[in-house]
Structure 1
Amino acid sequence: MGARLLPRTLPELFSYSLAIEREATKRYTELERFLRAIGVEHIADEFERLGREEREQYEVIALGTSGRELPELAGWELSWHFAAQAAEAHAPCSTRQAIAMALSLERRTQAFYNDVAEHARNDAVRAFAAEMANDEQRHVLRLEILL
């Protein structure tokens, strides 16, 4: 198995982050709908809040990078993230499974940002990745409480 390539510059990391946050927003919306359909309103409300936070994070990064040319990512560059998610792409069968799916997504994302924060050579890249990892940790903790 080949080594995962990590972003080396802020524009590269911003490209990764935009893709990750966009997908997280989409996934939370799907899971929220499922939870509402089965009548678990209080957990659906939390998923709605988490999805909103992901969308806001996306918007902040998009606004901060508007007018800048960001590198396009090849599909395989995020395969570590989306391949695992594709395996979970089926609809959840229970509230617990929906929470576990969201938790898995957040943990993969946090691991990515921690990896970048630990191994990037650029100080700004490390700092932004560490900040994003901390944000993901807050989501992980909230989801763990729901389990």
Structure 2
Amino acid sequence: MTSIHDAALFLAHACALEEDAANRFSDLSESMKTYGNTEIAAFFGQMATFSRMHLAEARKRSGFRDIPDLAPEDFQWPDDESPEAASMEGSHYLMTVEYALELALDSERRGQAFYADVARTTTDSEVRMMAEEFAAEEAEHVAQLEIWTKRYPKVA
């Protein structure tokens, strides 16, 4: 369980998480382009843009605050790594659209759960408000990915 009670610390986590998400979506987009899946590559590109927008929003909110420059071990991630740092070991010539969508959906669900957990456990009202807002944005990403996974069902 994550317990963050300081806005600057929360924003340090949000910036790292959103940067990881943007990088992952960009990687997935490039991977899908390589394999000729232009429709899904464009979708992942759009999701990378949304993540960059969320990163810019988190940086903007940090404004006057001194955002800590955290070492990897100082982050309070569940499972000791950013929820949006999806493993790309499957990013090879056999990567399917279905697998790429599964990777993205899993990461977005973990990101949404991280923000929701912070909102639920913080004692700081500003952190709660931001975490709830970021959780809602991640929930929108999850919903979009769920729509796409229905378009490309996993073959048994």
TM-score by length of 1: 0.88
- Aligned AA for 1:6? S
CA contact (8 A) 2:29 2:41 kept: yes
| 2:62 match | 65
| 1:112 match | 114
- Identify the match of residue 101 of structure 1 among 89, 100, 103: 103
| 2:154 match | none
Comparing both structures, which one devotes a greater share of its residues to helix?
A: 1
Q: Does 1:24 align with 2:21?
A: yes
CA contact (8 A) 1:81 1:108 kept: no
- Identify the match of residue 12 of structure 1 among 5, 9, 12: 9
Moved over 4 A (4+): 83-87
| 1:146 match | 148
Compared with structure 1, are the counterparts of its residues 7 and 81 closer, same or farther at alpha carbon in structure 2 (3 Å cutoff)? same
| 2:49 match | 52
Distance in 2, Cα, partners of 1:79 & 1:112: 8
Q: Percent identity?
A: 28
Q: How does 1:113-132 map to 2 (within 5 A)?
A: 113-132=115-134
Gapped runs of 5+ residues in structure 1?
none
Gapped runs of 5+ residues in structure 2?
150-156
| 2:90 match | 91
RMSD: 2.0
Distance in 1, Cα, partners of 2:8 & 2:87: 29
| 2:152 match | none
Shift of 1:122: 1.0
Shift of 1:74: 3.1
Compared with structure 1, are the counterparts of its residues 113 and 85 closer, same or farther at alpha carbon in structure 2 (3 Å cutoff)? closer
- Aligned AA for 1:80? D
CA contact (8 A) 1:120 1:126 kept: yes
Distance in 1, Cα, partners of 2:69 & 2:127: 17
Distance in 2, Cα, partners of 1:19 & 1:50: 16
